Amino acid sequence: MTPHFTALEAAYQLRYYLSFKTQYLKPTLAPAETQDLVHQVLADVGERQQYHLLETSISPDHLPY
């Protein structure tokens, strides 16, 4: 089996660690509907920009990536 990175002419890995905090760390992101909306928006933006989001973690008061 050939690893996928040797089959590509050029392979790049780029990592970003982002964290968005709510004002005064209020639990703004606590409702499940809000978390679903955030996931959907991030998926839509990623698809539009041809990015692949590897990991997402949402807590009630901040959004670390």
Q: List, as one string, the DSSP characters of the chain.
A: ---HHHHSSS--------EEE-GGG--TT-SHHHHHHHHHHHHHHHHHHT--------BTTEEE-
Please list the pLDDT of the chain residue by residue as tens digits (65 residues).
555 555 555 555 556 666 777 778 888 888 999 889 988 998 898 899 888 777 888 888 776 65
Q: What backbone phi and psi angles, to 5 degrees, belong to 34?
A: -65, -45
Confidence (pLDDT) at 19: 76
Confidence (pLDDT) at 17: 67
Q: Give this prediction's pTM.
A: 0.61
- 22's CB contacts (< 8 A; 6+ apart) are 28, 29, 61, 62
Confidence (pLDDT) at 40: 92
Confidence (pLDDT) at 38: 87
Confidence (pLDDT) at 3: 56
The residue type of 46 is G
